[in-house]
C-alpha cells in the first residue's frame, strides 16, 4: 500500500502480521522492558520493518533504531524516516536526507473514531468537511483519515523543527477523487525555515485500513508527489 503513495526516493516495508523472525537489539529491548505484550509486538515488528526499509535504502548491516524525545525514532544521520503501526499493520518508510527533508506515514483502521475524538482533533471547517464526505463516500472513514493525516503531518514536522504541533495547528482539505490532501499551517503557528506553510500528502484505503503519507523535498521543502 505504501509504495503506491510514496515517491521513488522513499524505501518502505510493510507487514500485515507480526513476523516470527522479528527480534530486537538489546538497546531496543531496554526501551520496552516494562511494556505490555501488545506494545512489545508493535514495537518489535515496527523495528523489523525499519530495518527492512533501511536495507532497501542500502544499509546492509542491521542496526538498532532507538527512541528520541517524544518517542521519535532515531535514524542514521543520513536518513529521515517514519514508523507506524495499528491493528493488523506495521510499516516503516525511510529516505536519504540528501533527497528528502522529511517523511511522515501513518496507518489507522478504516473504522469510526471513538465518540468525542473528532471534535477534539478537528477544526470546525474540518468537522463540516468530514460529515459531508461521510455522506458522499461512506466506504471511507473520513474522520479516521483526518486523524491519520494529522499524525503524518506531525511525523514530518517534528524531526525538522523539534517543536510540538497540535491537532488544531493545521487545516486539512481532502480531495476524494485523486487520493490527495493538502494541509495549511495556521497563522498562530511559529514559522520554521525548513518547513513550508503548505504541504501536500497522499492517502489510500485497503485491507481495512486508511494510510497517509507525506514526503518533503530536500531541495525546496515542498511536498514530493508519488507520480500517480
**For 138-152, how does the pLDDT look when each residue is reduced to its tens digit (9 = 90+)?**
999 999 999 999 999
**Residues near 155 by beta carbon (within 8 Å), at least 6 away in sequence:** 72, 82, 103, 104, 105, 106, 214
State the Rg of the chain over Cα: 17
Burial, 106: exposed, middle or buried (Cβ in 10 Å; 0-12, 13-18, 19+)?
buried
Tell me the sheet residues that pair with 180.
175, 202
Q: For residues 196 and 66, what is the distance between their CA atoms, to the nearest angstrom?
A: 28
Q: What is the pLDDT of residues 25-65, one digit of tens each?
A: 999 999 999 999 999 999 999 999 999 999 999 999 999 99
- Would you say 57 and 11 are in contact if contact means Cβ atoms under 8 Å apart? yes
Compute the C-alpha angle 170/173/174, nearest 5°: 135
Give the pLDDT score at 146.
98
204, 178 Cβ separation under 8 angstroms: no
Lowest mean pLDDT among 118-132, 156-170, 184-198, 208-222: 208-222
Stated as kind and residue range, the H or E segment containing 42 is helix 37-57
Which pLDDT band, with edges at 50, 70 and 90, does 131 fall under? very high
156: which 3 cell numbers? 514530518
pTM: 0.94
Interacting residues of 220 by C-beta distance below 8 A, sequence separation 6+ = none
Per-residue pLDDT band at 171 (split at 50, 70, 90): very high
Amino acid at each position: 500500500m505504501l509504495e503506491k503513495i510514496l515517491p521513488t526516493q522513499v524505501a518502505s516495508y510493510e507487514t500485515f502480521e507480526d513476523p516470527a523472525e522479528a527480534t530486537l537489539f538489546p538497546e531496543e529491548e531496554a526501551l520496552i522492558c516494562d511494556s505490555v505484550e501488545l506494545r512489545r509486538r508493535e514495537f518489535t515488528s515496527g523495528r523489523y520493518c525499519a530495518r527492512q526499509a533501511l536495507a532497501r535504502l542500502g544499509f546492509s548491516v542491521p542496526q538498532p533504531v532507538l527512541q528520541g524525545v517524544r518517542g521519535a525514532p532515531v535514524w542514521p544521520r543520513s536518513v529521515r524516516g517514519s514508523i507506524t503501526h495499528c491493528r493488523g499493520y506495521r510499516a516503516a518508510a525511510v529516505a536519504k536526507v540528501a533527497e528528502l527533508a522529511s517523511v511522515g506515514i501513518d496507518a489507522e483502521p478504516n473504522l469510526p473514531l471513538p465518540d468525542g475524538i473528532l471534535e477534539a482533533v478537528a477544526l470546525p471547517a474540518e468537522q463540516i468537511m468530514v460529515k459531508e464526505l461521510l455522506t458522499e463516500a461512506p466506504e471511507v472513514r473520513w474522520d479516521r483519515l483526518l486523524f491519520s493525516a494529522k499524525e503524518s503531518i506531525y511525523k514530518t514536522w517534528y524531526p525538522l523543527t523539534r517543536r510540538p504541533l497540535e491537532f488544531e495547528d493545521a487545516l486539512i482539505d481532502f480531495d476524494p477523487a485523486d487520493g490527495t490532501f493538502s494541509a495549511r499551517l495556521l497563522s498562530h503557528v511559529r514559522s520554521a525555515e525548513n518547513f513550508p506553510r503548505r504541504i501536500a500528502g497522499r492517502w489510500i484505503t485497503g485491507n481495512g485500513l486508511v494510510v497517509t503519507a507525506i514526503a518533503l523535498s530536500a531541495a525546496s521543502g515542498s511536498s514530493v508527489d508519488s507520480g500517480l
